[in-house]
Structure 1
């Protein structure tokens, strides 16, 4: 029997996420179990399953799912260390979270994280009251981009950075002004 193409897996996950599936955890577990341990398909289901387990307070199961994804070497949506960081912050495992942040920073410096990873890490830090560190993570993918090149800026990181800088009561800078300008453009397009 041939394995489904990753696009089919991602389409299935999207249908589960945005469809009328009542017990998403059970469906995601069932789908993950259909695929061999270490496969990209299984890791994709486990990534989303871990998020749902975390949302329902099933932290040990969420950790197991994220750790299995980490061991597989696959990453469909987000680097699994970013998922584990969010879990550690949510469960108050602050020393473990700090160790993960150091590991993630090394990965970032090695060019192994994308803007989506930086955004997710920044949001996790923001949600858990670490605005100064969140600002750093939101800024990393923006550093080498001209703030006047609105199309080249990562919107998630740009707006996240804007939010935490308001909490930190920092003055507007060129990136903050770009965030405001993009929001104004979107508002005009909606009208």
Structure 2
């Protein structure tokens, strides 16, 4: 319960503050390969082929751990993810398939395959190409996007190199977290 000390609602006791910022304890989570594949296959046409994995205690913020999100991305044969830049970093693990990574920090194109690990620093252009592939290129991505959104500095490059702030604290994300996959394997919509 939040208790203000005076009629000024910008003041509260330490106990009220601790109650406000507290959250349920993290719990272990498991997602089966079948549940992940099904969730990717059920994405509507035109939707980015990526799902966010969240822990039950952190699902409202799209987090797997404090300030971090975990994403599974499927770049299908004949497809590519367009190069883009933003203010958060990625750590990619190539789970399956082969393709080409376009990473500004590594000097251009690089062939990638299952087992490869790629770090993309903030503000570095990156994208993945599977147009020559015969199987899906599956990428597992750990990133600090939730941290930057909470700090109010989540930025994304727009058209013609302009930058815009995506989310500021206190404002809900515009699209919500539809499509996040809970540890039980159910998708929120």
Shorter-chain TM-score bucket reads under 0.3
Instruction: Give me the TM-score of the superposition, normalised by structure 2.
Output: 0.27
Larger strand proportion of the pair: 2
Higher relative contact order (CA 8 A, sep 6+): 2
Instruction: Give me the TM-score of the superposition, normalised by structure 1.
Output: 0.26
